[in-house]
Amino acid sequence: MNETAWKGSREGWLSSAYEALVDGGVDAVKILPLAKKLNVSRTSFYWFFTDREQLLEALLANWNAKNTSGIQGRCEAYAETIAEAMLNIMDCWLDSQIFDSQFEFAVRSWALQSPEVAAQVLEADEARLSALAAMFTKFGFSDLDAEVRARTVYLVQIGYISMNTREDIALRMRRIPSYVQIYTGDTPQRREMERFASRHSFILEPERDAAAGIRGANKEV
């Protein structure tokens, strides 16, 4: 085994730490168990991190870079209507490559034990809410309406995550048009829902879509 393989890699340590955090909470993120999982020596950890605290800081940085940036990116994505803009946001809740709900749950649980982490979570919340409010403002909502709608969207989803809610994709898709209408006052058009569903490898059905209130659901396309 060459020297590099024996040491492992920074990404390997972070990936293993992420899995430990998600599966067992922050107390499970310990150097020796991670080393055993990676099949490397404990001392190899120090090639990449000064101490456990630095590893935890890197985990938090990864969480913020993925989840906060994921929401901000979808807020800025092109949309012709506010309904389409909201569907862009909802990509986050269905695609863990954009927004990792398990990571979010683990970090928020960690924040209950650490004032320092809680402060970073609060900062991330503010950045995400600001991005959501800016999206509503762009579509003509007043500052107050934009703020309230942003908070409604965000706090509902954080509630989903905190309650560890599970929904199959068909049920979630059936509810999404109603969520969009409640959040924005606008009902998504069928073509908007088709594009959204396609991004998540889901096929819409006209009868079900009509019942869900999707505009144009009974029209031929």
User: Which tens digit of pLDDT belongs to each residue from 112-168?
Assistant: 999 999 999 999 999 999 999 999 999 999 999 999 999 999 999 999 999 998 889
Topology (CATH) of 7-49: Arc Repressor Mutant, subunit A (1.10.10)
User: Each residue of 24-49: pLDDT tens digit?
Assistant: 999 999 999 999 999 999 999 999 99
Please name the amino acid found at residue 87: L
Please name the amino acid found at residue 60: L
Mean pLDDT of 76-82: 98
In 3-state terms, what secondary structure has residue 199? helix
Residue 106 φ then ψ, to 5°: -65, -40
User: How confident is residue 217, by pLDDT bands cut at 50, 70 and 90?
Assistant: very low
Beta bridge partners of 97: none
**Sole residue written with tokens 């403002």:** 137
Please name the amino acid found at residue 164: N
Nearest C-alpha neighbor of 21 from the set 34, 12, 10, 2: 34
User: How confident is residue 218, by pLDDT bands cut at 50, 70 and 90?
Assistant: very low
* CA separation for the pair 198, 163 (Å, rounded): 28
Question: What is the domain partition of the chain in residue ranges?
Answer: 7-49, 56-212
Summary count for the chain: helices (H), strands (E): 12, 0
Alpha carbon 10 to its chain's center: 24
User: How confident is residue 219, by pLDDT bands cut at 50, 70 and 90?
Assistant: very low
Q: What is the pLDDT of residue 176?
A: 97
Q: What is the pLDDT of residue 2?
A: 47
Q: Is the pLDDT of residue 17 over 70?
A: yes
